[in-house]
Chains A and B, each alone.
Chain A
Amino acid sequence: MIFASKAFYLFLPTVLVLYHLLRRRQHKYGVLLAASWLFYAWLSPQYLWVIVLCTVIDYAAGLRIERAGSERTRKGWLGVSVAANLGLLFAFKYTTFVYDNAVSLAQLFGAPLHDRTWEILLPIGISFHTFQGISYTVDVYRRQIQAVRSFLDYALFVSFFPQLAAGPIVRAVEFLPQMATPPRVTARQVADGLHFFIIGLVKKLLLADQLDQLFVGPVFADPAAFDPAAHRWACVAWAAQIYCDFSGYSDMAIGCAKWFGFELPRNFLFPYLATSISDFWRRWHLSLSTWLRDYVYFPLGGSRGSAARTYANLIVVFIMCGLWHGATWAWFVYGLYNGLLMSLHRIWDRALTGIPVADAIRSTRAWALVAWAGTFLAVAAGLILIRMPSWEAGGIMAHSLLGFDLLTGWSRMIPVWVPVLLVVIAAGHLVGGWRERVGRTFDVPAPIRAAAYVVAVVLLVTLSPGIGKTFIYLAF
């Protein structure tokens, strides 16, 4: 089941009513867990065992780690948990990639290995719940949290349906304390939940899907049929689409969770306002970037070693980040590209910080604008890698975006609604970023808020494309 599908609009109210009608903690969480597993099984019933197996292993490993008498036993159980999660993730996600490359390599040397005639269907949300499981057992190992005694609590933490399919990747330390007693839903949470849910739907159905259908899909499918100006607009529109698609899902997840009284962490902080690549990764898919920081980058040594070691760590982490998204060479290159950008930015930053003139220039608004433009261009160029249908097509798009072609701003091939939608997204970003900076939240009077939500619903019902497209991050 996915958000924004008809089945979900029957499922969600039913679960909400049941959950709030029940009084006892066990019953409430039991219903929520059953609903979450139903949510999971709706799309891939044959894979329900995957999440159940991961849950059982991590739950048992957590308890064993805590009760173990020796460091060796603790490490052993941690190894079991990490190996089980990564093993399942690897088996489902990377087997075909490894096999295909083995075939290519073998054919290069004349070995008789045949092309693949089989396919492995990816269990929904496997990249998310395996990382969640690993973070739990590592935190128990590090004695940062206590192991969960109740299997029901742990299973619900892993399977909680709003964040099950496409994140955010929730840490045990963020979620489990909320589960101590079933949280009472406040009026504020109900209203904010509505806000997040509608905003998420608008981002997904009115902005992302429209951009894809109107322009991004056709241009990326056949770039040769469009001119360089259309390529440039398509790259910008694609950057906007993927943001709206993914952050839309996260917003809906956050909104849904609020209706059950739970708070999920923010996953996006207006990433296209970033003025450097490191700033961008502090705003984009926060739950993944902080996960990689805490469980990969820091254990590798982080920035404590030599400069070369730090850059190597950064590149390793970002290659992992790329491959986490998808098992293709394009994703590998995307990760490498971001790792290199992060390293270059670190070199640049280290070189200039402390030089009075450079510091003065870098603190001006004009510089902030230049830095923002450069960052956005670098990010948009990187995003071509993950949409291009072929390396040739990607080359054409990158060539146009980076201005190697004739620099024209507009062409008749660009539908007039594309800039309109982009202006809406940019305005949302600017207003949101400003509110974030000044620390003001939803302070609009209730009647205006309510009226705005109704307008949004009217637009959603009438203008969203008839055929619902699936969320991009569900594929990860």
Chain B
Amino acid sequence: MNTTTAPPKTAPPETVPRFLPADTPVLGRVTVVIAPQPVELPVGLVRRLWRFADRNRTVVLFALFLVIADVAVGWFSPVWARHSPDDYAARVAGCAREPRDLVFVGGSPVSEGIDPDKIAGVSWAGKTLDSTYALGLSGGTTSDFYHAVLHGCPTPPRILVYGITASDLNDSRHEPHGPYSLMTWGDLGRWVRLRPESAEWVTRHFALSRVGQASNLFRYRHGIRMWATTSAEQQLPGSCPEAIREADELRERSAALENGNGYAPARGYSVGRYDVAKAAGVQPTELPYLRKFRTGSHLKYLHKLIDWCEAGGTKLLLIDMPVTADLEAIYPSEFTEFRLRLAEVEQSRPIRVIRATRESVGLTDAHYADLIHMNRDGAVIFSRWMRETLAKMGR
């Protein structure tokens, strides 16, 4: 609004109301001319957005820079992945690199206890099984293993060996790593139909994983942290003693998963000795993965796996993985129920279950790192036994 003042040319009419008392003399007069308001033309969306951006420059620039930073982080994703691999995704990608003759799948007992190199070359029905891979997913469940096989074996292998144990079938377990790293939208739909009782859980975690993966910064945050730790350690040796141990192990694992056969045992399990720990008075009294044991829901995915093998012409073998006697003693009813389920599946479906007892394999407490995980010596013994067993079966 523009206002201008100008000296009066003529006296105003006396009818103009006065706000001062009647006897107050008029010392001077001004005329205020108010220019008409300019007609507001409709403002376009672009102009309005520009105005908003101009007003909120800091916030808009912050959002813009954040997107740029996120894209920049994405460009270096191989660096971050090398420093902190997504274990499940890396194993699935490793398995899918080439068509496989023999694939082992299962949880941490498989990832720690089976070295495919010790088994590769075994003869099955007159043909050697050269390309082998261990798809061992620590902390996984049968539902996760089904998805791992589905995406890790685009070409169905000749033989699929599932090293199963009681905790794989425990319906009280819900592990978010599966929805995060293994599942697609189609897998989500199948899960919701097949296991409606956990539909809310899987949808929530799947959605969270997709939101998390939308940002490179969030997705690779641990890799960036490990990279920063390694860089800091190079500049200031001894500055991050604990973090650098983790970073070293993760880099080692990343290299093993990138080029190897899936056998990348954790450092702690590899050298651990359960018998020594027991002698020192350390004796675990429980395995959290077997808490509140109940079966039925994950089992549906075992049937899906059997269907998948039948459809692809893959021979499926289930191995009841050997665990320590102490674990079976702590959870007798859980192992009874688990083995009952295996027997039911064996009766109802055309699969073979191999009962790998400690005695038949030759394992003692000295070959375990803890209640359930074999150490490196245990893995050597078990892998050799596996090779012999497959050789016998394949004749």
A residues near B (Cβ < 8 Å) are: 187, 190-191, 194, 415-417, 446-447, 449-451, 453-454, 457-458, 461-463
**4 extra interchain contacts, Cβ-Cβ under 8 A, other than A417-B239, A453-B65?**
A190-B59, A450-B61, A457-B69, A462-B225
Report if B35 contacts A (CB, 8 A): no
Measured in the bound complex, the distance between the Cα atoms of B58 and A449 in whole Å is: 7
Distance (Å) between the CB of B76 and the closest chain A CB?
A: 13
A450 touches B58 (CB 8 A): yes
A-B contact pairs, 18 of them (CB 8 A): A187-B56, A187-B59, A190-B56, A194-B58, A194-B59, A415-B239, A417-B240, A446-B57, A446-B58, A447-B61, A449-B58, A450-B58, A450-B61, A450-B64, A461-B217, A461-B218, A461-B221, A462-B224
Distance (Å) between the CB of A260 and the closest chain B CB?
A: 15
Measured in the bound complex, the distance between the Cα atoms of B82 and A435 in whole Å is: 44
B228 touches A463 (CB 8 A): yes
Distance (Å) between the CB of A368 and the closest chain B CB?
A: 35
Measured in the bound complex, the distance between the Cα atoms of B64 and A453 in whole Å is: 12
Report if B71 contacts A (CB, 8 A): no
Within 8 A of A (CB), among B180-234: 217-218, 221, 224-225, 228
Measured in the bound complex, the distance between the Cα atoms of B238 and A101 in whole Å is: 48
Report whether over half of chain B's contact residues are helix, strand or loop; otherwise say mixed.
helix
Within 8 A of A (CB), among B52-67: 55-59, 61-62, 64-66
By a CB distance below 8 angstroms, the chain A residues around B236 are 416
B residues near A (Cβ < 8 Å) are: 55-59, 61-62, 64-66, 69, 73, 217-218, 221, 224-225, 228, 236, 238-240
By a CB distance below 8 angstroms, the chain A residues around B65 are 450-451, 453-454
Distance (Å) between the CB of B146 and the closest chain A CB?
A: 28
Measured in the bound complex, the distance between the Cα atoms of B240 and A417 in whole Å is: 9
By a CB distance below 8 angstroms, the chain B residues around A191 are 56, 58-59
Distance (Å) between the CB of A447 and the closest chain B CB?
A: 6
By a CB distance below 8 angstroms, the chain A residues around B69 are 454, 457-458
Measured in the bound complex, the distance between the Cα atoms of B58 and A269 in whole Å is: 25
By a CB distance below 8 angstroms, the chain B residues around A416 are 236, 238-239
By a CB distance below 8 angstroms, the chain B residues around A417 are 239-240
Considering the complex, give the chain B residue whose CB is closest to the CB of A193.
B59
Considering the complex, give the chain A residue whose CB is closest to the CB of B208.
A6
Measured in the bound complex, the distance between the Cα atoms of B58 and A187 in whole Å is: 9
Known: A416-B239, A451-B65, A454-B65. A462 touches B59 (CB 8 A): no
Of A194, A447, A457, A463, the residue contacting B225 (CB under 8 A) is A463
By a CB distance below 8 angstroms, the chain A residues around B224 are 462
Of A187, A415, A453, A463, the residue contacting B62 (CB under 8 A) is A453
Known: A187-B55, A191-B56, A416-B239. A454 touches B221 (CB 8 A): no
By a CB distance below 8 angstroms, the chain B residues around A453 are 58, 62, 65
A457 touches B59 (CB 8 A): no
Considering the complex, give the chain B residue whose CB is closest to the CB of A454.
B65
Considering the complex, give the chain A residue whose CB is closest to the CB of B57.
A446
Considering the complex, give the chain A residue whose CB is closest to the CB of B52.
A187
Considering the complex, give the chain A residue whose CB is closest to the CB of B220.
A462
By a CB distance below 8 angstroms, the chain B residues around A449 are 58, 61-62
| Smallest CB-CB A-B distances: 3 pairs | A450-B61, A191-B58, A446-B57
By a CB distance below 8 angstroms, the chain A residues around B73 are 458
Distance (Å) between the CB of A3 and the closest chain B CB?
A: 18
